[in-house]
Structure 1
Amino acid sequence: MPHIDVVADLNFEGDGAGVLLARVPAGCVSTVGTVLAASTLTAWSQVRVEAVGKDGWLGLRLRHGSEVG
Structure 2
Amino acid sequence: MLDPHDEHGRPFGRSTRHLSMAERFSQLRHLFEALEGMVRMMDQADRSAKALLRHYRRKKEQDTPPKR
TM-score class, shorter-chain normalisation, is under 0.3
Greater fraction strand: 1
TM-score, normalisation: structure 1: 0.21
Structure showing greater Rg: 2
TM-score, normalisation: structure 2: 0.21
Considering Cα pairs closer than 8 Å and 6+ residues apart, tell me whether 1 or 2 has the greater RCO. Answer: 1
Greater fraction helix: 2
